[in-house]
């Protein structure tokens, strides 16, 4: 699908963003409304698709934290204000309420919706509980000597 999308909409690219969007819209219409799909017994997806029987809520409730938690809203930059400083906790949490609970190490556990995500240590640095992704781990383990 992606190869066909690229071939039919970007070679050559449109002169304007609006024209490029029209090409994408036309492709989507053809792909979903007209083009037969082998996996769907030669029917287009629009002939088979049905809305789910259960509607999603318009808005989710904000998470709730115990009384021993300090609650902060994550800024659009992924930071919270913590003990007079800005601490980066992650852009994925932007706009969300997080809870901070004191830990016996002197730091604070950062929680979101019942999940412990990491620890803000005494130096006010956020340390994730999840291990770094593989490509980042490889970069950290490879010494940067500058020699070629």
pLDDT in tens, 74-114: 999 999 999 999 999 999 999 999 999 999 988 999 999 98
Rounded average pLDDT over 43-69: 92
Q: For residue range 105-127, list pLDDT tens digits in order.
A: 889 999 999 899 999 998 889 99
In this prediction, residue 133 carries a pLDDT of: 67
Separation CA 86–CA 92 (nearest Å): 16
Separation CA 129–CA 25 (nearest Å): 42
Answer whether 0.95 is exceeded by the pTM. Answer: no
Q: For residue range 8-36, list pLDDT tens digits in order.
A: 999 999 999 999 999 999 999 999 999 99
The beta-strand segments (E) located in 3-147 are 69-73, 79-82, 85-88, 97-102, 108-112, 115-120, 126-128
DSSP helix/strand/coil, 82: strand
Are the C-beta atoms of 93 and 82 separated by less than 8 Å? Answer: no
């Amino acid at each position: 699908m992606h190869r066909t999308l690229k071939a039919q909409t970007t070679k050559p690219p449109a002169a304007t963003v609006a024209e490029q969007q029209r090409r994408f819209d036309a492709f989507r219409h053809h792909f979903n409304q007209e083009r037969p799909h082998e996996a769907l017994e030669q029917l287009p997806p629009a002939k088979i698709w049905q809305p789910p029987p259960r509607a999603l809520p318009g808005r989710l409730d904000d998470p709730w934290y115990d009384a021993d938690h300090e609650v902060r809203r994550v800024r659009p930059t992924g930071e919270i204000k913590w003990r007079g400083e800005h601490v980066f906790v992650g852009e994925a949490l932007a706009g969300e309420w997080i809870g901070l609970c004191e830990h016996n190490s002197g730091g604070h556990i950062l929680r979101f919706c019942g999940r412990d995500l990491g620890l803000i240590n005494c130096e006010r640095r956020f340390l994730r509980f999840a291990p770094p992704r593989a490509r980042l781990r490889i970069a950290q383990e490879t010494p940067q000597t500058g020699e070629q």
